[in-house]
Structure formats: C-alpha cells, structure tokens
Amino acid sequence: MASSSSMLISLALLFMVIAPSFGEKNTKLKKICSKTFNNHMCMKLMKADSRTSDANNRLLTEIAIDLAYNKAQDIYRDLTGVIYYSYDSQYREPCSKNYNDAIRDLEQTKKIFTDGDYDQIPDQVSKAADDIRDCKNQFDRSDINDSKELKKRNTELEVLCDVVKASSKYLRHRNDNDN
C-alpha cells in the first residue's frame, strides 16, 4: 500500500514537471502565426518542419525562409514543366517569370538573414510576395484546369512569406529575451 502511494506521488510529481513543458512548445510559433493573415495555415506549414517544436525566433525565421524558398522552387519547376504541355501558356509563362523573380528575392532574403541585416528582411520578402500575388492574379483570371491546385500552393507560399515578415520583426528587437 505504501509503495502504491509513493508511486502515485512520484507519477504526480513527474507529470507536474513534464506538463508545463508541453504547454510551452510552439509558443513562439503561435505568437508569430497570430501575426499572419492565415494563422491556421501558418501553424500547419511551419509544424511540417520538425525543427519548429523548440525553435527560437531566429530559427523560426530561417525555417520560414527555407520553406518559402523550397515551395517557390517546386512551383516554378511545375510551371515550367507544364508550359510545353498546356495550350494556355499565356498564363503559365508570365507566372514562371514571377516565380523566377520570387526565387531570386527569397535568395536575397536568405543572404540578408545570414548577414544579420534583419531590418531589411520585411521589404525583401515583400518583393517575393508581390511576385507571387501577380501570379495568383493571373490564375484567378484563367480557366486552366489545374489552376485550383496552383492557387492553393500560391496561397501557402504567400503565408510563408508572411511568416518570414512576422518572425523577422522579433529579430529586429534583439534586446528582447524572446530570441
């Protein structure tokens, strides 16, 4: 009986020590995602990367840049791969140029991040987001059968760019103990 009581007390103490750490996971990510235009999609996209669970603001920004860059490259590859098979390339060709520009802007964003020039990140990533929106507007006007999937992926990329902007704002306040 005494061993059962001590076991229960030990388990209760263990739970009290472990439980708060579960509540703290992703608090920085939740705070950043609340500053984006699609909180739910932000959480979903960012949590897909296992590094986000205990990430500080700097790592969250780096993850968001990486995810945005990779998504832009994937979409660009798909766009340029189907141009030759689509009869409606009037929308795909300008979009592939927009994505090429967005990739370049995201590469520059990564360089700015690496250099620690955090104040420049929002402006640079906004250029990529503008290129992406231009493409989204092209597909909104099109009747292309597969534009629904491209629109969805476009929106995901817009959200990731928004995450980069939101998270970089916390980097600009490095005296805060939130990094």
Contact 162, 36 (CB under 8 A): yes
Tell me the three-class secondary structure of 93-142, residue by residue: HHHHHHHHHHHHHHHHHHHHHHHCCHHHHHHHHHHHHHHHHHHHHHHHCC
- The topology under which CATH files domain 26-171 is Butyryl-CoA Dehydrogenase, subunit A; domain 3 (1.20.140)
Q: Spell out the domain ranges in the chain.
A: 26-171
What is the average pLDDT score of the chain? Answer: 82
Angle between helix 147-171 and helix 89-115 axes, rounded to 10 deg: 20
53-112: pLDDT as tens digits: 889 999 999 999 999 999 999 999 988 875 555 545 666 778 889 999 999 999 999 999
pTM for this entry: 0.81
What is the rounded distance in angstroms from the CA atom of residue 43 to the CA atom of residue 75? Answer: 21
